[in-house]
Structure 1
Amino acid sequence: MITGGAGGLGAVAAKRLYEEGARVVISDVNEERGEEVARRMDPDGKRVIAVACDISRPADNENLIREAERFFEQEIDIFLANAGAGFSGSLLDASVEQIRRTIDINVTGSLLSAQSALRSLVKGPSSSLIFTCSLQGVTARSQRSVYTASKHAIVGMMKALALEFGAQGVRVNAISPAATDTPFLRNQLAGVTTNVEEAMSATEKSLPLGHLPDAGDFAEAVLYLSSAQAKSITGHNLLIDCGASAGKF
């Protein structure tokens, strides 16, 4: 089960799990796009379906889990809480609506979707709940105070849930990528510069490894944390940041 699975990191993770033989439920607030991704991955709809869900709405989350359990004909054993909202800009310029939307989706929405998922995850002998976080969940960045606050909250909730549900066989972890080489990042850069390639190069050079992580790196991390190979890992925030969090470079 993947929220925010109709594009970006979520869609790549969905495809990777599908390739490993998993049945997948893609959830997204954009129903049409979610159905398109599901059809492209599995035209027969036997192993992949899409369900519309706004994670900030409790009823949507509850319906999502019901539909997933009906499709799987069993409880959920992997839940990737990936849906989220970005926001950048000075706090002085942020409206109340922008602040509330970011917190409603990234914090309240993550808690609500996890709450609904955990009611299913605890039914099985072993399951995995993974939050998509961010480098801004452990560090900070100018012009990102609202977003940074929301991602720090996700790291905290992940750790608390790992302690609360470990005895019930649920491992809870997070994955925190740095800025990732995706069309989304390039589109963002295009909004602030006319030379996207130069901006990409500067971003890559700012990292110790000299390159950006890509969506495939994220998908492999999801696969690992979902697998029996990670049976002793819980309460962990896996950074995919090419060394950015190690210190000033």
Structure 2
Amino acid sequence: MRLKGMTAIVTGAASGLGEATARRFAEEGARIVVADIDGEKAAEVARQIDASGSTAIALACDITSAAACGDLVARAEDFFGAPIDIFHANAGTSFSTPLGEAEPGRIERTIEINLLGAVFSAQAAMPSLVRSGNGVLLFTSSLQAILGRPARSVYTATKHAITGLVKSLALEFGPQNVRVNAIAPTGIDTPLLRLQLSRVTDDVDARIASMAASLPLGRMPTPRDFTDAAVFLASAEARCITGQTLVVDCGASAGIAEPRPAAS
């Protein structure tokens, strides 16, 4: 119950890591706003967290709209009758196309969601987090925030930008007792990852195993590993941590790993 009595908004919470985080925050005692562009899926997640609707609600929000982000925070404050203590800006999109083959509209949309959406979320959340007196702003970043990767140029650029955004906001709002951090995972074994891999291979399990074997720890992070990091950064245990990007990557960013021996 490390988040007992706190109110949290999680964007992109109708599925994937956002959903996992919303559920975990609730388990830790937080009141939850399940925010997502897909209002119906968000509502189902909120019902599963709390069927009574008293400690978990769903709100539809398009984070690429500054007005929608502002309305999200205002409605959450109105429902719970208190400022927001935690805002997890998790919503984002992927990009895996060689730059020379990428359509301009897809490039613009990736930047709009991953970067402008993060900025608009922060801009809307900060007044409430300041009023909280002990606010926490979290971003979902990526290993691509500190490394590069072929065919991920636009995605990598947006995640590098989040690293700078975290540092600047930590300096700007630290004096008002708001902490700002990001979580940067490598690939996590989720249904979405498996769906993406199914488009390029007939043996998803083998590809997952190969990805895990390429990491120094020989395994991939799980959604639980991600939510462990989120709970820690949102809790009082991390009260002196701000302006940081916490990498959750089973050692991928440490350097070039030696190939692991095949299992006998």
> Which digits, 9 at most, give the CA deviation of each residue in 1:181-214, with x for residues without a partner?
1111111111100011111111001100000001
Q: Distance in 2 between matches of 1:41 and 1:125?
A: 27
Within 5 A, what are the aligned runs for 1:51-130? 51-130=59-138
SS at match of 1:46: coil
Q: Report how many aligned residue pairs link the two structures.
A: 249
Of residues 10, 14, 23, the one that matches 1:6 is 14
Amino acid at match of 1:112: F
Amino acid at match of 1:107: L
Identity value in percent: 51
Q: Distance in 2 between matches of 1:225 and 1:154?
A: 16
Q: CA deviation at 1:59?
A: 1.4
Match of residue 182 from structure 2 = 174
Amino acid at match of 1:23: R
Amino acid at match of 1:102: T
Match of residue 150 from structure 1 = 158
Q: CA deviation at 1:156?
A: 0.7
The 8 Å contact of residues 18 and 24 in structure 1, kept in 2 or not, is answered as: yes
Where in structure 1 do 4 or more consecutive aligned residues deviate above 6 Å? none
Q: Distance in 1 between matches of 2:42 and 2:209?
A: 32
Does residue 204 (structure 1) correspond to residue 221 (structure 2)? The answer is: no
SS at match of 1:208: coil
Q: CA deviation at 1:124?
A: 2.0
Amino acid at match of 1:215: P
Q: CA deviation at 1:70?
A: 1.0
SS at match of 2:131: coil
CA RMSD of aligned residues (A): 0.6
> Which digits, 9 at most, give the CA deviation of each residue in 1:125-167, with x for residues without a partner?
2111000000001101111001000110011101100010000
The 8 Å contact of residues 133 and 176 in structure 1, kept in 2 or not, is answered as: yes
Does residue 237 (structure 1) correspond to residue 245 (structure 2)? The answer is: yes
The 8 Å contact of residues 124 and 169 in structure 1, kept in 2 or not, is answered as: no
Runs of 5+ unmatched residues, structure 2: 1-8, 258-264
Q: CA deviation at 1:21?
A: 1.2
> Which digits, 9 at most, give the CA deviation of each residue in 1:44-69, with x for residues without a partner?
11100010000001111011001110
Of residues 201, 211, 226, the one that matches 1:218 is 226
Match of residue 187 from structure 1 = 195
Match of residue 32 from structure 2 = 24
Runs of 5+ unmatched residues, structure 1: none
The two structures have a TM-score, normalised by structure 1, of: 0.99
> Which digits, 9 at most, give the CA deviation of each residue in 1:207-240, with x for residues without a partner?
0000000101111111111111100000011000
SS at match of 2:148: coil
Does residue 33 (structure 1) correspond to residue 41 (structure 2)? The answer is: yes
The two structures have a TM-score, normalised by structure 2, of: 0.93
